[in-house]
């Protein structure tokens, strides 16, 4: 039972987030990062179950200058299919319903915890775009 506070919010955690008995309207988010890359990132549904297959052009046909009545050889472009790396980023915010109900403003209390989860996902996704590996699963 000593490690319960390591994974779940406790009454002590709730009281640390209060000022004069009320949930603090603002928590100074020292851990927040600005990750502009996520604003430009595309997100789309996989087209092959849990994989996404993209067809890319790998070669262009040959073009030549010809003389009158000259021969123009036939040519073609080439393509290749690539299986893109995909992933599912998840986390769960679990707060005991009694702890939420004891709060003066339950919605604000839940938001104070949920915003940290959103930030954690933001940072993990940004980090993985640049430094991730398909072999990494955690």
For the stretch 61-75, pLDDT in tens is: 999 999 999 999 999
pTM of the predicted structure, to 2 decimals = 0.66
pLDDT at residue 53, rounded to an integer: 93
Whether 34 is in a domain gets the answer no
Whether 106 is in a domain gets the answer yes
- Percentage with pLDDT > 90 across the chain: 30
Is 83 or 23 the better-scoring residue by pLDDT? 83
pLDDT at residue 30, rounded to an integer: 74
Which structural domain range is residue 14 located in? 9-27+45-131
In this model, does residue 76 exceed pLDDT 90? Answer: yes
pLDDT band per the 50, 70, 90 thresholds, residue 2: low
Whether 35 is in a domain gets the answer no
Whether 3 is in a domain gets the answer no
Whether 21 is in a domain gets the answer yes
DSSP secondary structure string, 58-122? EEPPP-----TT--------EEEEEEE------------HHHHHTSSSHHHHHHHHHHHHHHHHH
Whether 120 is in a domain gets the answer yes
For the stretch 82-115, pLDDT in tens is: 998 888 889 998 888 888 888 888 888 888 888 8
Number of independent structural domains in the chain = 1
Whether 40 is in a domain gets the answer no
């Amino acid at each position: 039972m000593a490690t319960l506070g390591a994974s779940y919010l406790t009454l002590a955690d709730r009281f640390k987030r209060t000022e004069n008995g009320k949930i603090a309207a603002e928590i100074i988010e020292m851990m927040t990062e600005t990750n502009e890359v996520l604003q430009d990132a595309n997100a789309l549904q996989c087209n092959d179950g849990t994989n996404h297959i993209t067809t890319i052009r790998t070669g262009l046909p040959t073009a030549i200058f010809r003389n009158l009545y000259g021969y123009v050889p036939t040519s073609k472009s080439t393509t290749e299919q690539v299986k893109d790396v995909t992933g599912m980023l998840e986390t769960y915010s679990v707060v005991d319903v009694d702890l939420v109900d004891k709060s003066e403003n339950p919605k604000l209390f839940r938001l104070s915890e949920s915003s940290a989860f959103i930030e954690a996902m933001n940072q993990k996704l940004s980090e993985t775009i640049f430094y991730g590996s398909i072999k990494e699963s955690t």
